């Protein structure tokens, strides 16, 4: 089975500051990794995903994440956040050996951008 740990439940940060949201996973098989964003009372929107290739993945809205296999991490970063980035962020994995499997989500990190 897979598990995903998001180490910070809340991350307060000032506008235009850099931010890193941490994600670690555990799995007995190789996985695909995802970051999603959720705005209040809405579904999830894909920010970025790692399937293979370069371990540095660039996504939408200026976000990027780096896959580190040895540390089983997939931390999300943005060099300069905006007020509009305030939302809930979820890290998720799915098994590589059966890509039709469901996503396993972390507990989420609430990013709060302050003016």
Partner 1 sequence: GAVVSQHPSRVICKSGTSVKIECRSLDFQATTMFWYRQFPKQSLMLMATSNEGSKATYEQGVEKDKFLINHASLTLSTLTVTSAHPEDSSFYICSARDSSRGPGGYTFGSGTRLTVV
Interface residues with partner 1 (CB under 8 A) are 32, 34, 36, 41-46, 49, 51, 90, 94, 96, 99-100, 102-103, 105-108, 110
Residue linked to tokens 């920010």: 47
Please compute, for residue 1, the number of CA atoms within 13 A of its CA located in the half-sphere on the CB side.
Answer: 4
**Torsion, Cα of 59, 64, 66, 67 (10° steps):** -30
**What is the nearest approach in angstroms of partner 1 to the Cβ of residue 98?**
10
Which of residues 65 and 80 has its CB atom nearest to partner 1 in the complex? 65
Which of residues 13 and 32 has its CB atom nearest to partner 1 in the complex? 32
């Amino acid at each position: 089975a897979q598990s995903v740990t998001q180490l910070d439940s809340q991350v307060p940060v000032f506008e235009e500051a850099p931010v890193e949201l941490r994600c670690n996973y555990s799995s007995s098989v190789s996985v695909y990794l995802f970051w999603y964003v959720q705005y209040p009372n809405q579904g999830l929107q894909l920010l970025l995903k790692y399937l293979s290739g370069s371990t540095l993945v660039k996504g939408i809205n200026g976000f990027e994440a780096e896959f580190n296999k040895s540390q089983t991490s997939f931390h999300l970063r943005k060099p300069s956040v905006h007020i509009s980035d305030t939302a809930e962020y979820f890290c998720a994995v799915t098994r590589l050996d059966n890509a039709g499997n469901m996503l396993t989500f972390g507990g989420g990190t609430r990013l709060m951008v302050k003016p």
